Amino acid sequence: MMTEITVTQKDDGEHFGVAGGNYRVVISGAQTGGIYAVIEMTVPPGGGPPPHEHPFTREMFYVLEGELEFQTQPGKVILGKGGFIDIPLNGPIHCFRNVSGNMARLLCTVIPAGLENVFREIGIPVAPGEFLPRPELTAEREAFLGMVDQKYGQTTYAPDYFERDI
């Protein structure tokens, strides 16, 4: 059981360039005994992950700035500042996209911790506020991402997954 208070300042934590955004691990599973992790995501206009699912992770998002379109199989919802969405354990395939013309910021809490390790593997260490272009999806990158998915018990789908006739 944790008995110490953890304090994280504005630029503390690991920062990773992920899919054109800047993801900061505010508190990691290593600090919470694996119970949860919090990641601050700064996402450029048009940015966001492809459709994916992680049945063993509950994922919650709180929008700090901007507007994000969250999509699941039942449909889409736009969330602005102060909006919240909870993807339950064994939840649906989902994704989000920054639909505003500015950077969007959101807090992502995952229970149990572990998703932050995905970002460590697929991301590139960056400075606070530093943004790298989205990596090109080469055959090698696609194979690497597939290996990461398998390692962490998740599945990533093609960007047009929700537009297909399923």
**CATH number (domain holding residue 48):** 2.60.120.10
pLDDT score of 32: 95
pLDDT for the residue 3: 74
* Beta-carbon count within 10 A of 120 CB: 16
| pLDDT for res 166 | 52
pLDDT of the residue at 147: 97
Look at residue 2 and tell me if it is in a domain. Answer: no
Distances, alpha carbon 7 to alpha carbons 11, 26, 33, 90, in Å = 12, 10, 16, 31
Kindly state whether residue 9 falls inside one of the protein's structural domains: no
In a domain, 1, yes or no: no
- Is a pLDDT exceeding 80 seen at residue 1? no
Q: pLDDT digits over 27-86, tens only?
A: 999 999 999 999 999 999 999 999 999 999 999 999 999 999 999 988 999 999 999 999
Total domains in the chain come to 1
pLDDT score of 164: 79
Is residue 7 one of the residues assigned to a domain?
Answer: no
Q: What is the dihedral of CA 161, 48, 19, 146, to 10 degrees?
A: -30
Give the structural domain span for 56: 14-163
pTM to 2 decimal places: 0.92
* 7 contacts: CB under 8 Å, gap ≥ 6: none
